[in-house]
Amino acid sequence: MGGIIRVGLIGCGNIGMGAHLPAYAHIPEAELVAVCDIVEKRVQAAAECSGATAYMDYRQLLKRRDIDMVDICLPSDLHAEASISVAEAGKHILCEKPMAHTLEAAQAMINATQKAGVKLMIGQVRRFDHRYASIKAQMDAGKVGRQVFIRRAERQFLPFPPEAWQWDTKRGGGVILDIGVHATDLFRWLFGQEAVEVYAVAKSVREAAREAGSYDHAFITCKFDGGGVGFAEASWAYPQGFGGALYAQLDVVGTEGKIQYADKDTNPMLIYSTEKGHELPRYFRFMSTTEYAFEEEIRHFVRCILDDREPVVSPQDACAALEMALAAQRSAETGQPVHLPLQEETRWRESTLA
């Protein structure tokens, strides 16, 4: 590979164009050589700002022998199909979260990459954010003693139109699969334990969620085998402009101390004028994760390919976070706690998301 990983980006929508594509300009070990999207206007814009070749069919992109790695930023329901195609083409895969919509699809991704001998990492980007990495290091150093309770809140107003795939239960899965999977992975990573039970209460608040039959506000409780408890609030239903100071919060409570972090950097300033009213300057495009976290995530995976080592987020890690999110979805619908690992009789929900 000559010390340079040549990359093809599939999906030039919100996360692909706004977070992944700009990161490659800051990673000397990677060169973005191809971009793909089914919307011509989007892919041409991506090509113009990156200098990469544009494609509207990712199968044509995969025919290029000079591409070593593919970065998948497609809607969630397409992750498995695209990842398997990329693996069969013999290229390494970085794929946005959630890993898939069913455990069967996630396992098919793992099987395909193992058969092809390529690497796969799912973009659980919170792990690459310096703030949360620092909290994890302090916990591992024993600063709070034995971890007892972790609370996570991610609150926002989803700015996408009602027809956006994020609202669709069969494409985006609603707030539990889209945002809740960040919390489930964060809990499992910070506790260093496996979840044994998940209980969730969720609502469809905004009209777009009600029309799509999906949830846009959820409370998720996860019990772990070491006795720890994680509690997450994941929401797209907060009123637009409610203020960024309360947007993302993390509390870690242990037997000997507590770590508390609130993401005030997103909107540290309030501006008021008679002409525009109140304004909250937005310092980061993706509010609960800074732009550099995506850069760190991609750089890490590129180095794993160059150094032939395994990513810190294994496919099994991502699959476990997905399983917890699917359990939360099931619990929200039945009103009952769901035990892990998921049993066959509780997997019916997954088939409806496929």
DSSP string, 23-90: HGGG-TTEEEEEEE-SSHHHHHHHHHHH-PEEES-HHHHHT-TT--EEEE-S-GGGHHHHHHHHHHTT
Same fold, 5-126 and 129-291+319-353: no
Q: Which of 202-224 are b and which e, b meaning 16 or more Cβ less than 10 Å from the residue's Cβ?
A: bbbbbebbeebebbbbbbbbbbb
Confidence of residue 260 (pLDDT cuts 50, 70, 90): very high
Average pLDDT, the chain: 92
* Structure-block tokens of residue 41: 């206007």
pTM (2 d.p.): 0.92
- In the chain, the percentage of residues whose pLDDT exceeds 70 is 90
Q: What is the pLDDT of residue 285?
A: 65
CATH number of 129-291+319-353: 3.30.360.10
Average pLDDT over every residue of 293-316: 97
Q: What is the dihedral of CA 279, 263, 330, 109, to 10 degrees?
A: 110
Cα separation of the two ends of the chain: 36
pLDDT band at 266 (very low <50, low <70, confident <90, very high): low
Domain residue ranges of the chain, discontinuous segments joined by +: 5-126, 129-291+319-353
The DSSP symbol for 8 reads E
Give the CATH class of 5-126: alpha beta
Q: Compute the average pLDDT of residues 65-77.
A: 97
CA distance 5 to 88: 18
